[in-house]
Chains A and B, each alone.
Chain A
Amino acid sequence: MKTAIELQNITKRFGTVVANDNVNLNINFGEIVALLGENGSGKTTLMNILSGIYQPDGGAIFIRGEQAHIASPRDAQRLGIGMVHQHFKLVDVFTAYENIILGMPRVKGESPAECRARIENLREEYRLTLSLDKRVHDMSVSEKQTVEIIKLLYRGADVLVLDEPTAVLTPQEVGHLFAMLSRMKKSGRAVVIITHKLYEVLSISDRVAVLRRGQCVAEAVTAQTDSRELTNLMVGRPVELKIERPDTRKAPNVLALTGVSVKNSDGGNALKDVSFSLCGGEILGVAGVAGSGQKELCEVIAGLVPAETGAILYRGRNIIGNSPAEIIKKGISMSFIPEDRLGMGLVASMDLTHNMLLKSYRSGKLPLLAKAPAKALATELVDRLKISTPGVAAPVRQLSGGNVQKVLLGREISAQPQVLITAYPVRGLDIHSSFTIYALLNEQKKNGVAVLFVGEDLDVLLELSDRILVLCQGEVMGIVSAKDATKEQLGLLMTGGKEGA
C-alpha cells in the first residue's frame, strides 16, 4: 500500500491552548482511516491543517513522499486533498452545479454541457443522488453532503477527509455513505473519517488513530482492536482517581422533568420525552457521547430554549415559559463550558469583577451597579480557588482555560443556587484543577444543593455522582446508581444499548 500522507510532529497552538501536540499520522491509499477522539481532542484541527485552513506551528507534512507546505485550501486541492467539513462550506444561494465548479478553472475546450455531463458521470459512478440545479438552501443535510463529496471528486481529490459525516444523517443515509466510502477506497483513494462514535470506527475503518488532548495516543489496525480498548484509549487510562463521594441527606424532588422534548434548529428532536428528578444534596451525572442533547438539556432548564412538550417542575411549580431572568432569580444556576470555553457564560473582554456581575447585576434598587461587592467576590474567588490572574481587573480573555472555568463555576456557586447545572466544568483541565472543581461540587452537594453534572469522563462520573443519567440521541437510556454501575454498562447505554455496532 502506498503512503498518501505522512504527518510528522504536527503542533498547533491557539493562544495558550495546545490543540495538536506533536502528532504523527500516516495515511495510505486504498484504506479508510478513522480519527477517533472526544470533542476538543484536536481531530478537526489536525485535518484543518492538512486541508490548508490552519498553519501548523511546528512539524512537517509529506504528500506522496514529498514535503509540502499547504498554505491555503487551494494548495491542498492541488495536492489532491479534499475535506468535507462538519459545517458544510457551501454557498447557500448557489446551485449544486455552481458549488461544484466554484474555484475551478474551466477546462479548455469543454462546454458547460460537457462539464455537467462529466459531473453527472462522477455522480453515477459513485451511485449518488443529486439534482445539479437545486439550490443549496433548498437541500436536505444529506444532499448538501453529497454536493460536498462530488465537489471533492470533481477536483480529483484522492485523499478525502470527512469530519463527523454521520452526525446529521439518518441510519439509512449513513448506510449509503459508508457504501460510497467503500467504493472510494476500492478505487484507490485514501479516506479519513473523523468521528467519536466507536461503532463507526469498527464498521468501516481499516485503521484507527486515537487522539486525546491533542496527542495521538495510539494507532491500530481496526481488526485487531475492540470497543473496550478504544474507549480506554479515547477517554484515557483509568487513572487512580480518589474523588470523594460524601453521603448527604437527600431532599427529594427539588427539580423534576416530565416528558420534556426540545426541537433543534433543523426541526429534529434534540431532546425526546426526557423525564427524571433531581434531589437536593445529590449529584446527578449525565453521560452520553457528544451532541446527545446535553446542551439542550441544560438550556431548556435555564429557560434559554423553549420546550415543545412536557413540564419542568421546580419545587412542584412548572417553570416552563419563565424567562431566563426569572429562573435565575429562583436559584437555578446553569453553567455550560462550550468547546471554545468562553462561549456564553463569561464576557471575554470584561474583567473578573464585571464578570461576577453577569447574573446578579440587577440586584439593588439603584440604577447603578454594585461594583464593590463584586470586586470583593472576585478577589475572594481568586484567593480561594487559586485563580492565577494578573488581577481582578484583567479581562478574562487573558486567563488560561482552567482559570476561566474556575471563575465561571466560582461565580455560579457564590450565588448560592438551589439547583446547580454544570456542563463539562473540567473540560481541558489538568488533574489538579479538575480536583479543585470536584471539591467545589461536593461542597455544594453537602450544602444541600441539587447538582446536575454533565461530564465526558466516565471514570469521573462514576466516582463523583450519586446517580448517572445516560443520554443517547436526546433520549434517556437509563438512570443508574453510580456505586453499582460499570464503565462498560454506561458505554453500552451511551451507544444506544447495543454491543459493538
Chain B
Amino acid sequence: MDNAINFINAALFAGTPLLFGTLGELISEKAGCLNLGVEGMMWVGAFAGFFAALQTGSAMLSLLAAFGAAALCAAVYAFLTVTLRANQNVTGLTLTTFGVGLSLVLGSAMCQANGGAPNLPGSFRDKIAAFKIPIPGSGDDVVKLAVYPLTIFAIVLCISAAVFYKKTRHGLSVRASGENPAAADAAGVNVSAMKYASIILGGGICGIGGAFMSLVTANGAWMPAGIVNGFGWIAVALVIFVRWKPMLAILGAFVFGAFQSMRYYIPDSVISIPNAFYQMLPFVLTLIVLIVTSMRKSVHAGEPAAIGVNYYREER
C-alpha cells in the first residue's frame, strides 16, 4: 500500500512536466503546426523560471517568466513557419538546438556570476511544494499522497483545453485550421491568427513544464544536464499516444511518468526487465499507436489532417 502510494507520487511527479509539454505541443499541433522545438522551449522555460525565482523569489513571476520566455521562442517559430512559410521540421529542430544552447549558456553565465551553481532558497521551494494528503488506512501517516499545485494547474489547463476545443466557436476555428486550412479560410476563419495564438500559447505552456523541472524536479539546484534532457521529445511522442486529445493527455502523461519510475517499484522477482526497456516503452507504445491509427485510416484517429503543412491561400 505504502509502496503503491509512493509509486503514484512518483508518477505524478515525473508526469507533471510531461503533461505541460504534451499539452503545449498538442495545442500547437491542433492548429496544424508540428513544433519539434518542445525540448528547446522546455529548456528555455527551465532557465527563465529558475532565474526569475532566484531574482524575485516569487513563484508567480517565476512561472510567468518561464511562460514568457518559451512563448517568445515559439513566436520565432510562428513567424518563420506561418508568415515566412519555412519548413516546420527544420525550424522546430533549430529551435531545439537554439533553446537548449541558450539555456545552457545563460545558465553557465548565471553560475559564473554567482560563483558556483546557485540554489533556490527553501522559502521559495515551500511556495511550490506539494500538498500532502494523508491516505486513511495507510497504516502510519508517514506516507501521504503528494500533489503539487502545478500538477493541479496542468490538469485544469487540460480540462480547459478540452472544453475549449469541444464547446467553443474559437476551438472549432482552431481545429479547422489544423484539419483543412483552406476550408477554414474560406469559412472566414483567420487561419494565421489561429496558428500564431496556438503556437505561442502552446510554447508558453511547454515553458512552464520546463520550469517545473528546474524548480521542483531538480530540488532547487541548477543542474542543467540532469533536468529536461529528452522530456520534450517524450512529450512529442505523447501527443501521438493520446491521439491529440487533451483529456487523454492527463492519463497519458501520468502513465508515461509511471514508466519513468516503474523500475524502482516493480521488484525483480515479479518481472525482471532491463532498465532500458522501461525507458524505451513510451516510444515503442507511441510507434504502435502511430502504426495502428494509420492502418485503420480512421478519420477519428485525431491527427490533424494538415499537420506539418504550411498554408498559402494563393497556392495553385
Judge A-B direct contact (beta carbons within 8 Å).
yes
Which residues of A approach B to under 8 Å, CB–CB?
14, 51, 53-55, 72-74, 77, 83, 85, 88-94, 98-99, 101-106, 135, 137, 151, 155, 340
Cβ 8 A contact of B187, one of A53, A89, A92: A89
A73 near B299: Cβ-Cβ < 8 Å: no
A85 near B179: Cβ-Cβ < 8 Å: no
Cβ 8 A contact of B176, one of A51, A102, A105: A102
B172 near A98: Cβ-Cβ < 8 Å: yes
Q: Report if A72-B185 is in contact (Cβ < 8 Å); known contacts: A92-B299, A93-B299, A93-B300.
A: yes
B176 near A92: Cβ-Cβ < 8 Å: no
- Among A14, A94, A340, chain B packs the most CB atoms within 10 A around the CB of A94
A101 near B188: Cβ-Cβ < 8 Å: no
**B314 sits at the interface (CB 8 A):** yes
> What are the residues of chain A within 8 A of B299 when measuring CB–CB?
92-93, 135, 137
The 9 closest A-B CB pairs, nearest first, are A103-B188, A103-B187, A89-B183, A89-B186, A103-B189, A74-B188, A102-B187, A77-B188, A91-B179
Q: Report if A91-B169 is in contact (Cβ < 8 Å); known contacts: A14-B316, A155-B188.
A: no
The smallest beta-carbon distance between A157 and chain B, in angstroms, is: 11
> What are the residues of chain A within 8 A of B300 when measuring CB–CB?
93
Chain B's closest residue to A82 (CB) is B186
A10 to B185, CA, bound (A): 23
Q: Is the interface of B mostly helix, strand, loop or mixed?
A: helix
A85 near B314: Cβ-Cβ < 8 Å: no
A72 to B173, CA, bound (A): 16
**B182 sits at the interface (CB 8 A):** yes
A93 near B179: Cβ-Cβ < 8 Å: yes
A98 to B180, CA, bound (A): 13
- Among A74, A101, A135, chain B packs the most CB atoms within 10 A around the CB of A74
A102 near B172: Cβ-Cβ < 8 Å: yes
B176 near A53: Cβ-Cβ < 8 Å: no
A89 near B173: Cβ-Cβ < 8 Å: no
A53 near B188: Cβ-Cβ < 8 Å: no
Chain A's closest residue to B304 (CB) is A93
A340 near B316: Cβ-Cβ < 8 Å: yes
The smallest beta-carbon distance between B245 and chain A, in angstroms, is: 13
B180 near A101: Cβ-Cβ < 8 Å: no
> What are the residues of chain B within 8 A of A91 when measuring CB–CB?
175-176, 179-180, 183-184
A94 near B182: Cβ-Cβ < 8 Å: no
**B58 sits at the interface (CB 8 A):** no
Chain B's closest residue to A77 (CB) is B188
The smallest beta-carbon distance between B250 and chain A, in angstroms, is: 22
**8 Å CB contacts to A: which residues of B156-187?**
169, 172-173, 175-176, 179-180, 182-187
A103 near B173: Cβ-Cβ < 8 Å: yes
> What are the residues of chain A within 8 A of B314 when measuring CB–CB?
53-55
A493 to B183, CA, bound (A): 37
A90 to B173, CA, bound (A): 12
A54 to B313, CA, bound (A): 8
Cβ 8 A contact of B182, one of A83, A89, A106: A89
Which residues of B approach A to under 8 Å, CB–CB?
169, 172-173, 175-176, 179-180, 182-190, 299-300, 305, 313-314, 316
Q: Report if A99-B305 is in contact (Cβ < 8 Å); known contacts: A92-B299, A94-B179.
A: no
A151 near B169: Cβ-Cβ < 8 Å: no
A460 to B316, CA, bound (A): 29
Q: Can you spell out 21 A-B residue pairs with CB atoms less than 8 angstroms apart? A: A53-B186, A53-B313, A73-B187, A77-B188, A88-B183, A89-B182, A89-B183, A90-B180, A90-B183, A91-B179, A91-B184, A93-B299, A93-B300, A94-B172, A94-B176, A98-B172, A102-B176, A103-B173, A103-B188, A104-B187, A104-B188
Chain A's closest residue to B173 (CB) is A103
A91 to B169, CA, bound (A): 14
> What are the residues of chain A within 8 A of B313 when measuring CB–CB?
53, 72
A72 to B192, CA, bound (A): 12
Q: Report if A99-B179 is in contact (Cβ < 8 Å); known contacts: A55-B314, A92-B299.
A: no
Chain A's closest residue to B313 (CB) is A53
> What are the residues of chain A within 8 A of B182 when measuring CB–CB?
89
> What are the residues of chain A within 8 A of B188 when measuring CB–CB?
73-74, 77, 102-104, 155
Cβ 8 A contact of A102, one of B189, B190, B316: B189
B184 near A102: Cβ-Cβ < 8 Å: yes
A137 to B101, CA, bound (A): 45
A101 to B176, CA, bound (A): 11
A73 near B186: Cβ-Cβ < 8 Å: yes
The smallest beta-carbon distance between B304 and chain A, in angstroms, is: 9
> What are the residues of chain B within 8 A of A105 when measuring CB–CB?
169
A151 to B313, CA, bound (A): 20
A340 to B187, CA, bound (A): 26
The smallest beta-carbon distance between A31 and chain B, in angstroms, is: 24
The smallest beta-carbon distance between B95 and chain A, in angstroms, is: 28
A99 to B186, CA, bound (A): 11
> What are the residues of chain B within 8 A of A88 when measuring CB–CB?
183
Chain B's closest residue to A85 (CB) is B186
Interface contacts beyond A98-B172, A106-B169, A151-B187: sample of 18 additional A-B pairs, CB < 8 Å, sorted by A: A51-B186, A55-B314, A74-B188, A83-B186, A89-B182, A89-B187, A90-B183, A91-B180, A92-B305, A93-B179, A94-B176, A94-B179, A101-B169, A102-B184, A102-B189, A103-B173, A104-B169, A104-B187
A101 to B173, CA, bound (A): 9
The smallest beta-carbon distance between B150 and chain A, in angstroms, is: 33
A56 to B180, CA, bound (A): 24
> What are the residues of chain A within 8 A of B305 when measuring CB–CB?
92-93
A124 to B176, CA, bound (A): 27
The smallest beta-carbon distance between B195 and chain A, in angstroms, is: 15
> What are the residues of chain B within 8 A of A137 when measuring CB–CB?
299
A183 to B276, CA, bound (A): 69
- Among B183, B185, B187, chain A packs the most CB atoms within 10 A around the CB of B187
The smallest beta-carbon distance between A45 and chain B, in angstroms, is: 9
A92 near B184: Cβ-Cβ < 8 Å: no
A51 to B188, CA, bound (A): 11
A94 to B184, CA, bound (A): 11
B190 near A89: Cβ-Cβ < 8 Å: no
> What are the residues of chain B within 8 A of A89 when measuring CB–CB?
180, 182-183, 185-187
A493 to B167, CA, bound (A): 54
Chain B's closest residue to A151 (CB) is B187
B172 near A74: Cβ-Cβ < 8 Å: no
A92 near B180: Cβ-Cβ < 8 Å: yes
Q: Report if A73-B185 is in contact (Cβ < 8 Å); known contacts: A93-B300, A94-B179.
A: yes
A74 to B186, CA, bound (A): 7
A90 to B185, CA, bound (A): 10
The smallest beta-carbon distance between B196 and chain A, in angstroms, is: 15
Q: Report if A101-B316 is in contact (Cβ < 8 Å); known contacts: A73-B185, A74-B190, A155-B188.
A: no
Chain A's closest residue to B180 (CB) is A91
The smallest beta-carbon distance between A397 and chain B, in angstroms, is: 14
A83 to B183, CA, bound (A): 12
Chain A's closest residue to B168 (CB) is A106
> What are the residues of chain A within 8 A of B185 when measuring CB–CB?
72-73, 89
> What are the residues of chain A within 8 A of B179 when measuring CB–CB?
91-94
Chain A's closest residue to B186 (CB) is A89
Chain B's closest residue to A78 (CB) is B188
The smallest beta-carbon distance between B308 and chain A, in angstroms, is: 17
